C-alpha cells in the first residue's frame, strides 16, 4: 500500500503537469478525472505544436501505466490481506472507502497500543508538534515523529468528506474562513482521526452527532 501511494503521487505529478500545459497553451481547464480517461490518440488532438503533442502523449502514457499498476496492487492487497473487525467499522466513517480503510488498518495494527485518543492523533500527525507548559508554548517536538502514511490517509479522507457531508462541509468552511484551506483540512483530518480511534477501539459505527457535538 505504501508503494501504491508512491505511484499515486507520481501519477498526480503527471496529471498536474499536463493540466498546466493545457491551461497555459489553450486557455482552458481539464479535470484530473478527464485526463485519466485520455488515451494517446486523444493526446494527439490536444495541441497543434508537435513538441507539446509529444509531451502530452508521454504524460498520458505514463498516467495509464501507473493507473494499471495501482489497480494491480489494490487487487492483490484485497485478495490477500486478512481483514480485521476494525476495517468494517472504518468504512462507516465519512471519506473512508476500501483503500483508505485498508491503509489505516494496516498502518495502525493494534489500536490498543494507543492508550488515549491524543496519542493516536499525534501518531497520525494531525495535531501540532508543540511542547506546552503552564499554558505557554515552550518549543516544538520532532515533527517527523508519527506515521506519514496515516497523515496522508486522513487528509485524503477530509478532502473527500467535505464534498459529500453537509455538516462536515459546514465545519470546513467555517475553519477555512478563519484560517485558510490548509489549516481547515488539518483540523478536519484531526477530527476524523479522533473519531476513527473510538470507532476502531470500541468497534462501533460512526456517529456524526458525536463528531460535532458542542
User: What pLDDT is attached to residue 136?
Assistant: 52
Q: What is the mean pLDDT of the chain?
A: 91
Helix (H, G, I), strand (E, B) or coil at 132: strand
Mind spelling out the 3-state secondary structure of 80-99?
HCCCCHHHHHHCCCCCCCHH
- pTM to 2 decimal places: 0.83
Helix (H, G, I), strand (E, B) or coil at 136: strand
pLDDT for position 142? 45
Q: What is the mean pLDDT of residues 172-200?
A: 95
167 φ/ψ sector (left φ>0, alpha ψ -120 to 50, else beta): alpha
Which comes out higher in pLDDT, residue 30 or 130? 30
Q: Which of 30, 50, 194 is nearest to 111 (CA)?
A: 194
**pLDDT for residue 139:** 46
- pLDDT over 50 at 214, yes or no: no
Least confident of 116-125, 134-143, 175-184: 134-143
Asked if residue 12 lies in contact with residue 43, where contact means CB atoms within 8 angstroms, the answer is: no
- DSSP annotation of 110 reads -
Q: How far apart are the C-alpha atoms of 50 and 63, rounded to whole Å? A: 20
Amino acid at each position: 500500500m505504501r508503494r501504491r501511494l508512491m505511484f499515486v503521487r507520481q501519477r498526480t505529478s503527471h496529471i498536474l503537469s499536463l493540466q498546466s500545459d493545457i491551461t497555459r497553451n489553450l486557455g482552458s481547464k481539464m479535470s484530473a478525472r478527464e485526463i485519466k480517461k485520455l488515451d494517446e490518440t486523444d493526446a494527439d488532438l490536444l495541441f497543434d505544436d508537435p513538441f507539446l503533442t509529444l509531451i502530452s502523449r508521454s504524460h498520458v502514457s505514463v498516467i495509464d501505466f501507473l493507473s494499471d499498476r495501482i489497480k494491480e496492487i489494490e487487487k492483490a492487497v484485497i485478495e490477500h490481506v486478512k481483514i480485521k473487525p476494525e476495517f468494517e467499522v472504518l468504512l462507516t466513517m465519512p471519506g473512508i472507502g476500501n483503500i483508505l480503510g485498508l491503509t489505516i488498518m494496516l498502518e495502525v495494527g493494534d489500536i490498543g497500543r494507543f492508550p488515549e485518543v491524543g496519542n493516536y492523533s499525534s501518531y497520525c500527525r494531525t495535531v501540532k508538534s508543540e511542547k506546552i507548559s503552564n499554558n505557554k508554548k515552550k518549543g516544538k517536538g520532532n515533527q517527523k515523529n508519527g506515521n506519514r502514511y496515516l497523515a496522508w490517509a486522513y487528509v485524503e479522507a477530509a478532502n473527500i468528506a467535505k464534498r459529500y457531508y453537509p455538516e462536515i462541509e459546514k465545519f470546513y468552511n467555517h475553519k477555512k474562513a478563519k484560517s485558510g484551506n490548509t489549516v481547515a483540512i488539518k483540523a478536519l483530518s484531526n477530527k476524523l482521526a479522533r473519531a476513527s480511534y473510538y470507532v476502531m477501539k470500541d468497534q462501533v459505527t460512526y456517529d456524526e452527532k458525536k463528531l460535532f457535538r458542542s
